[in-house]
Structure 1
Amino acid sequence: MAAVDAEFYWMAAKVPSDDFQLWAFDGEPADLGAAIDEVCRRARACPDLTMRVHDGSPLTYPQWVPAPVRREQVVCHDLVDRSWHGCLATIVGLADDQLDIRQMLWRVHVFTPVFGVPGVDGPGTVVLWQYPHALAGGVRASAMGAWLFGRAVPLPEVRPIPAGFLPWRALDAARTHRQLVRDTQAGLLAPGIGYRPLLPTNAPPAGARSMRTLVRHRSQMPGPTVTVAVLAAVSTALSDLFGDAADSLGAEVPMAKPGVPHAYNHFGNVVVGLYPQLDWDARVQRIAADLADGRRRFEHPAKRSADRAFAAVPAPLLRWGVSLFDPDARPTQVLGNTVVSSNNRGPADLNFGGLPVALTATYPPLSPAMGLTHGVHGIGETIAISVNAAESAIADIDDYLDRLDAAL
C-alpha cells in the first residue's frame, strides 16, 4: 500500500471516511437478481475490486491481498419511506456502518422502487457504492463506479513510486521548496490563499445529519465551468446565512494532481476564496483564477518532490504520526469553511439491469472541523449538486438548499 493510501486507512480509525457514490436509474429492474449478478461479475473482472487489506506488522505498510467478491457485498434495502427524501434519509444512517476493509473492501446498497428521483417520472432505482477513501480519490472512484455499471474503460494506471532513501528525498524536497518560495516571491506563481476564521460550518458535526440534492441541466449552469458556478452560488448562500461573518469565506476543492498516479489517492486540496462581497461576474473571475493558480502550484517540481519524499517515509514513522492526531483538538483558523468536490463522470452510457442512468451524486463525508460539504457530479448533461450537513453547521438544510437553488 502506498504511503498516502495507508495514511487514509490509518486515519479512518479516528475520522470515518467511507465515501458513498450514488447512482440513480430510470425504472425498476425486471430481474433484480440478474442485475446484482452483473455488478458482481464486473467487480470480479476488476483487480482493484477483488482484494482486501492485510495489516500484519507495525513495522511495514499494509498490503493489498486478493479476496473473492461475495454476493453478500450487495445489500437490498426495503425502504419504509420509498420517496427520494426517504431514501436519502436512510443513506445518512449508513455512514454509521463503516467498512472494515480487512474483511470487505466495498459494499453496494440497492433501493427499489424509489419515487420522486429527480429526472425520473415513475419509480426509480438508487444504487449506492460504499468504499473506503484508501481505495480511491475522486477521479479513480468515479472510474470504478462507471466500470461496475457497464463502462468498458479500464481504470487509470497506477505506477508506485520506487522505494527511496528518505534523507535524499527530503533534501530534494527542501531544495525544490526553496525554488517554489523564490518563484512565488518573483511573481511566477501566486501565493496560496492562506487561513481564515472559523464559521459555524467548522464546528464539530453534531445533531441531525441531512443530505439533499439539486439537479440542473448542464446548459443551466451560470459560469465558465460547472465547478466555478457552484462555488459562486455557495458563496451567495452562505453569506446570506452568516452575514458579515462570511466576508472571508473560503472552500477546499479537491483537485487531481498532474501526471501518472503513483497511488490510489492522486489528488490534493486547492483552497479558493469565495468573495461574497463581489458581484457575480467579478466573483466568478476571482474563483476561476484561484483554481487556476492552485493547478499551477500543483505542477511545480516542489509538489512532485514532496510526494516522493512522503512515499519514502518508513511505515512505523507514519503510523506514529497518525497516532498523534487528535480529532477533538479545535483549530483557531481553517483553510476552508466548506468543501466542494466536483467531478465529471462522463457520458450517460451506464445501466443497472438494463435501466438507463438518470443521475449520479456523492456526499463527501463530514469531519471534526467540517460540518458542511458539497458534491458536484455530472453524468451526460445532468448535474447533481449535493449537500451533506450536520445540524450544528446548518440548522435548516432546506432553507440553505433554497438559498443555493436561488443563487444558481
Structure 2
Amino acid sequence: MTSRRLTAVDAQMLLLSAATPNDQFLLYGFGAPVDAAAALAGVRDAATRCAELTVRVRDRGPWRYPVWELCDVGADQFVVHDTTTWAGALSTVAALAGDQVDAHLHPWRLHVFPDVDALPGSGTGSIAVLQISHALADGGRASALAARLFGRAAALEAVRPLPTHGFVYRSAAAARAHRRLVRDTDAGLVPAPAVSCPALRSNTAPAGAVHVRTIVRRRDELAGPTVTVAALSAIAAALSAHLRASGDDAERLGAEIPMAKPGVRRANNHFGNVGVGLYPQLPHRHRARAIAQDLLRRRRRVSHPAMATQDASFAAIPAALLRWGMGQFDPAQRSPTVAGNTVVSSVNRGRADLTFGRAPVVLTAGFPALSPMMALTHGVHGIGDTVAISVHAAESAIGDIDAYTERLVHELG
C-alpha cells in the first residue's frame, strides 16, 4: 500500500479531535480468561497482515491534505490492565477517553483485561477494547477492523474516494441540487428535514464524574420491529422519566442517530447524523411505530441525489479552506436547540465467530463519545444473538447514572 491522501471528511474528523475527543471504544467480552502474551501475539500478527491497520497520519503542511503512510505495529499499541471485575473494567474504559490516540504515531490501541469476574453471559472471562481514531474508521468500519484482529477473515469494504478537484464547479452543482431538494420537499416528494428539539439537561457540557453502564439482552427479549427501534423506544421512556424528575420538559425528546450513507463507501467515515423523534408520550407500540417511521423518512431524505452532490462538493474542498473552517469551531458555543437530546449509535457486529486466544466472544459493546453539546450517549451493539445497550454519561447530564440505568432496565423488560 502506498501513501494515500485523507479524504476531506476523514481529515475533518482528525482536525475535530483536537477540539473535542472523538476516539471510538469497541469492547469485546470473551468467555474465558486468556494468557495475555499468547493472545496478543495472535492479535499483533493479524494486525500486521491487515493493510488498514498498519498506517499512521503524516501531515504535509497547511496547504495540503495529510496522508496515510505505512508503519509497523508497535508494542505500545497493546496495554494490559490488571482490573479483574466487569464493573472495574467499565470504569477503566470510561477514564480512557481522557487519553486519546495520536493518529500521527498510531491511530489505534488495544486494551486487554485478561481475567475478569462477573462478565455478563460468562461469569469469568476476558475483555479486549479497541480504541481507534475516528479518522481511520466510522462505527461500521471500526467493527470490521476489530473483527480482523479477532480472527474474522472477511475482506473489508473498499473505500472509493470521490474526485478531489473542481471545488467551484462542484459547489455550484451542489447549490443547484439543493434548490431541487427544496422543490421536491415542498412538493411532498421527499420527507422534510428533521425538526430540532429543545436542549435539555442531557445537552449540558460534560462535567463531573463520567461513567459507563451496559445492559445485556438476547435479541428475542427486545420488543420491536428491529433491535434499534426497540432500544430507542426503551430509551425514550427511561430518559423522559429521568429528565422530568430533574425538572425538564421532555415532551419533544429526540435522538441523534449516526446513519450509514447509501451507495459505495467514499471515505473511512461514510455516515451522517440524523435526528429522530422519540415520542415518549405515546404507548410503547405506537411509539415504536412512530420511531420506525422517522428512521424511514430520514433514510429517504439522505437518499436524495442532492446529498451525494453535496458530498462531492465537500470532497473537493481545498485543504487550507477546510483547516480554516475547522479552526472556527468553538466548543464553548451553546445552542438552545439540538438535533437530539442523546446520541444513539447502533451497530450489528455480525456473527459470534470471533476469538481472543482460544476464548470465544460472548458480547460486544460500544460507548459513543461525549461532546460539548452532548453529555449523554447510548450504544446498541449486537454480536450473534446477544445485544448490549450501553450508557455513557457525565454527571452533569444524568445525575445518578445507576438510577437512570435502572429505569432503562425496566423499560427493556
- The answer to whether the aligner puts 1:211 opposite 2:215 as a matched pair is no
Question: 1: CA distance between counterparts of 2:373 and 2:164?
Answer: 34
Decide whether the 8 Å contact of 2:56 with 2:70 is kept in 1: yes
For residue 275 of structure 1, what is the aligned residue in structure 2?
Answer: 279
TM-score using structure 1 length: 0.98
Decide whether the 8 Å contact of 1:37 with 1:71 is kept in 2: no
Question: 1: CA distance between counterparts of 2:190 and 2:409?
Answer: 35
355, 360, 372: which one aligns with 1:356: 360
Q: CA RMSD in A?
A: 0.9
- The answer to whether the aligner puts 1:14 opposite 2:19 as a matched pair is yes
For residue 91 of structure 2, what is the aligned residue in structure 1?
Answer: 89
Matches within 5 A, 1:69-218: 69-79=73-83, 82-121=84-123, 123-218=124-219
Alpha-carbon deviation of 1:270?
Answer: 1.5
Give every structure 1 segment of 4 or more consecutive aligned residues whose post-TM-superposition deviation is greater than 4 Å: none
Decide whether the 8 Å contact of 2:36 with 2:114 is kept in 1: no
Alpha-carbon deviation of 1:406?
Answer: 0.7
For residue 27 of structure 1, what is the aligned residue in structure 2?
Answer: 32
Alpha-carbon deviation of 1:164?
Answer: 2.3
Question: 2: CA distance between counterparts of 1:397 and 1:346?
Answer: 29
Alpha-carbon deviation of 1:385?
Answer: 0.3
Alpha-carbon deviation of 1:62?
Answer: 0.7
**Deviations 1:2-50 (CA, angstroms, capped at 9, x unpaired):** 0000000001000011111100001112x43221011111111111110
Question: 2: CA distance between counterparts of 1:269 and 1:154?
Answer: 26
Question: 2: CA distance between counterparts of 1:44 and 1:260?
Answer: 27
Secondary structure of 1:269's aligned partner: strand
Question: 2: CA distance between counterparts of 1:36 and 1:288?
Answer: 41
Secondary structure of 1:135's aligned partner: coil
Question: 2: CA distance between counterparts of 1:203 and 1:404?
Answer: 21
Matches within 5 A, 1:356-395: 356-395=360-399
- The answer to whether the aligner puts 1:304 opposite 2:274 as a matched pair is no
Alpha-carbon deviation of 1:56?
Answer: 2.3
Ranges in structure 1 where 5+ consecutive residues have no aligned partner: none
Secondary structure of 2:276's aligned partner: strand
Question: 1: CA distance between counterparts of 2:372 and 2:74?
Answer: 34
Decide whether the 8 Å contact of 1:201 with 1:371 is kept in 2: yes
Question: 1: CA distance between counterparts of 2:155 and 2:44?
Answer: 17
Alpha-carbon deviation of 1:68?
Answer: 0.3
**Deviations 1:142-169 (CA, angstroms, capped at 9, x unpaired):** 1111111000101111001122211110
- The answer to whether the aligner puts 1:52 opposite 2:56 as a matched pair is yes
Alpha-carbon deviation of 1:139?
Answer: 0.9
Decide whether the 8 Å contact of 2:274 with 2:339 is kept in 1: no
Decide whether the 8 Å contact of 2:196 with 2:275 is kept in 1: no
Question: 1: CA distance between counterparts of 2:250 and 2:112?
Answer: 39
Question: 2: CA distance between counterparts of 1:196 and 1:72?
Answer: 43
| Greater shift in the superposed pair: 176-185 or 57-66 | 176-185
For residue 291 of structure 1, what is the aligned residue in structure 2?
Answer: 295
Question: 2: CA distance between counterparts of 1:298 and 1:42?
Answer: 36
| Greater shift in the superposed pair: 88-97 or 198-207 | 88-97
Alpha-carbon deviation of 1:242?
Answer: 2.1
Decide whether the 8 Å contact of 1:35 with 1:352 is kept in 2: yes
**Deviations 1:267-315 (CA, angstroms, capped at 9, x unpaired):** 0012100011111111111100110111111111000000000001000
For residue 242 of structure 2, what is the aligned residue in structure 1?
Answer: 241
**Deviations 1:301-346 (CA, angstroms, capped at 9, x unpaired):** 0000000000010000000000010001111211110000001000
Secondary structure of 1:134's aligned partner: coil
Alpha-carbon deviation of 1:71?
Answer: 2.5
- Identical residues among aligned pairs (%): 53
Ranges in structure 2 where 5+ consecutive residues have no aligned partner: 1-5
- How many aligned positions are there? 404
Secondary structure of 1:116's aligned partner: strand
